[in-house]
Chain A
Amino acid sequence: MRRLAYSCALMLMLATLARAQEQPVELNVTCVYPGAELGAALTDFAGQLGYQVDLGELEDSDELEEPIWVLARNVKPDVALKLISESGRVALQLDAEARMLRCRLDGSAVGKPEVRGFDVKALTTAFRDYRKRFDKPLPAEAGQAPSEILLEVVQRVLEGDASTDTGSPVGTRLVFTRTADELRNIEELLSLLAADKGGDSVALSQDRANRLALEKSAPRGLPAASSFGAALWRLFEKSPAPVYVHGSLLETVFLDDDAEVADMEAGPNEVLALLATEHGFYVDARHGAMRLHQLHYAGTPSYRVFALDALLADLEKQYKEMAEGADNPDELSLKARGGVAVIVDALEAQLESAGHLPQVLAYGARIVVMGGSDIVDAAAKILRELGWKDPAKDTGKEERSGK
């Protein structure tokens, strides 16, 4: 009996040990690389995990001496890995079995793609109804099915110029072959486009949270005669949210470039906006971190979908009123003016005038404003000036038509 109990206890202990080996303790890392050389950063990061570095084709390459800018304290290794990878523009992979950090040139490692189909019947029906009532399609769009137009919108929002052709409209389904992360982004966009009130993407909400944290953590003001790198460090030194500068920006702006704007009264987010204007970069959220980048035309998961059904119905009425008395009243209708294009054109013109570089796409009565919360919130303000009512502040009394 005693031997049996001993054997059971031993087996239990072995099973526990085996399970512990299968599920290693999650170890967080701290990566403070504001302008560090990529090679040194990789060695430090791997060292924190107890890994070796396999540089592969990067061995003896100049890439290892290029600077990266990453500031991420107490984050999961896979998050840090993505930030270092995008700042240094190299592909990185953690091989837990071999305890190795493997490095390759960017693009040589691609995640495993999966196939998934999305039923978009509700969206295409809404688009057809919009077109009947409000829009006179351009000749180029006239022969396109609503699902084909939707596919283009999805690709342009999420992938921009880098869009591949691995999406197919089949009837009222869209079929994509993408990585799991990319499929999640597509699903999010389609569900926001279908939502009655539109809404923020997860990345945009993260951007708002990051900026709020920055406002609380950073000092006010930007001293004169700072370098770009020094200004970034002053701004983000105590940021609780991870921050990184994407390689696209580091390729065109040097960290020792002068930051000529100086304003000791500006709040942290104003300072960030001043630096962004001076050095021509954009700010959004990626992998939970604040991202400074120049990938304006590469698509983004950071956007807001605005539902404009009620505004369009109101505008239709206004144009009808203004057409009274004219010999050809139809020429003055909202439909003749281009439907939602009237709003998109105005939005783009006003955002440009306010110093933004807007990217606005429309699908029926929905528009997608891409970018960080600075540009999205500026767009919301302009829409409110047009008479649009923000559903986020909706009292539940406003009428909604068009759906």
Chain B
Amino acid sequence: MKTAAFALIALALALSSVNSQDKPEPATIDLSYLGVPAEIALTEFAKSARLRLDLGDVPPEMETPVWLSVHKIELAHAAKLFSVATGLSVIADGKRLVVREYPEPGRHQFTRGYDVSVLAGRFVDYVRAYGHPDEERAKSSPGSKEEPFLATGAESLAHLVCLLLDMLWDTQPACSVVGERILLTTDHWTHIRVRELLALLVSDAGGDHPYTSSGRAHLAKLSAGEVKYEADDRPLGSVVAGLCKLASADFVVHHSVATMFADEHATMRGTDTCASLLESIVRHGGYEFTTSTALGVVCFRHVDTPEYGGCSVFETAPLLKRIDASYQRQKTTPGGPENLRAAGGVQVVVDAIEVALDAQEQPAIVASFGTRVIVIGVPSACDGAAAILKEMGWEAPKE
């Protein structure tokens, strides 16, 4: 009996060992570089990640200071944060940490075809109910004599995915649409992001991209509670990093302000939330940097660089039905829109969100795909869009 029990335990152990081999946990890493020259930071990162540093034709003397403190993140993610911090293309390809001035075409890239038939089918449903967006757009500009180019559902979706990749991660992969498949040639990290975006677009409830949720959580830590902080004539980066450390918020400093964070010195004394103390530093010092998010962590960047830290997807089908009914009820003016289709479909909602976000000075891009409304922006812009939608009668999906 004892032998049988032992055998069973041994079998269970063996099976769990096999399972863990089948699905290895992705390697994670903690990184903290506070004003370290890029050359040294990259060398140390490669060493601690057990990757061979491949600098290619990048001059080895990279003096841009790296300001970065993150915890338990995957190597590929850490490499992308280095891209934000240094302005270089940094890729962890399994064995090597490949650093280039610009992404190398071909290397580390592969082509994947995404079957988007489900989403293309939903687009067809939307077109049946509210008309084709391209046709409606052409009707709204009657001066144009050219026949509108009608995009298929897959083509509209491909356009949206490319917009998201460009705005969120400054990535412009080659994109082709053939039937209900979207072909993209890009690196492994970006393919994972594409899968996340498509999953978000196909999910019934919509929601936040994981980096939006994570960025929002780290930003919230900065406003979580009061801290007492004192710093006398210390580098700006050191002061900012100190506040992020007190709040336990992961952060990266965008390369657009990295040198300023090393050269400028700040003095700070006070008791307040970290977010308020940061605001105070900017106000008193007249510094041109802003606090936003990038790749799921807090990001400090120059005010002139675009900031679209993430995106949220809102399912608006029930809202569109209600708006359609309200248009039909209001059929009083001859020549006016008889229903939502005549008024422009989902574009009515998109325009309203854009106007309201603009008035709130929240930089964001608002797009649509069928009944989905997509807001590209920092978490506060996405939250602002949700609030505006609620004012229109939209109800957040139940958990």
Contact = CB atoms under 8 A, between A and B. Distances in A.
A273 to B, nearest CB: 8
B79 to A, nearest CB: 18
Contact of A350 (B52, B124, B132, B183): B183
A260 B54 CA distance: 12
Main secondary structure, interface of B, reads mixed
Contact of B95 (A265, A331, A349): A265
B1 interface: no
A277 B106 contact: yes
A238 B110 CA distance: 31
Contacts of A385: 111-113, 181, 183
Interface residues of B, number: 43
A386 interface: yes
Contacts of A327: 131-132, 135
B183 A331 contact: no
Interface in B99-144: 104-107, 109-113, 115, 117, 120-121, 123-125, 127-128, 131-132, 135
A195 interface: no
Interface of A is mostly: helix
A19 B111 CA distance: 61
Interface of A: 260-261, 263, 265, 277, 314-315, 318-319, 321-328, 331-332, 334, 342-343, 345-346, 349-350, 352-356, 378, 381-382, 384-387
Nearest to A355: B106
B127 A326 contact: yes
Contacts, number: 110
B342 interface: no
A327 B95 CA distance: 53
Nearest to B174: A353
B270 interface: no
Given A324-B128, A353-B106, 17 more contacts: A318-B117, A319-B179, A321-B117, A322-B152, A324-B124, A325-B127, A327-B131, A334-B179, A346-B178, A349-B176, A352-B174, A353-B105, A353-B186, A378-B111, A384-B113, A385-B183, A386-B183
Contacts of B174: 349-350, 352-354
B179 A314 contact: yes
- Nearest first, the 6 closest Cβ-Cβ pairs linking A and B are A355-B106, A385-B113, A353-B174, A346-B176, A318-B179, A325-B128
A354 B181 contact: no
A167 B356 CA distance: 68
Nearest to A384: B113
Interface in B150-189: 150, 152-154, 173-181, 183, 185-186
A346 to B, nearest CB: 3
A261 B54 CA distance: 10
B57 interface: yes
A350 B106 CA distance: 10
Contacts of A349: 174-176, 183
Given A343-B178, A382-B183, A355 B107 contact: yes
A101 to B, nearest CB: 42
A295 B183 CA distance: 29
21 contacts: A261-B56, A318-B117, A321-B121, A322-B123, A322-B152, A323-B152, A325-B124, A327-B132, A328-B150, A334-B179, A349-B175, A350-B174, A353-B111, A354-B111, A354-B185, A355-B104, A356-B106, A385-B181, A386-B113, A386-B178, A387-B115
A353 B177 contact: no
B178 A342 contact: yes
Contact of B105 (A334, A343, A354, A382): A354
Given A322-B120, A346-B183, A386-B181, A355 B127 contact: no
Contacts of B57: 260
B183 A319 contact: no
A333 B354 CA distance: 34
A13 B119 CA distance: 86
Contacts of A332: 150, 152
Nearest to B113: A385
Interface string B190-216: 000000000000000000000000000
B180 A322 contact: yes
Contacts of B121: 321
A72 B379 CA distance: 65
Contacts of B54: 263
Contact of B109 (A315, A353, A386): A353
Contacts of A265: 52, 95
A174 to B, nearest CB: 31
A345 B176 contact: yes
Nearest to A319: B179
Nearest to A264: B52
A326 B178 contact: no
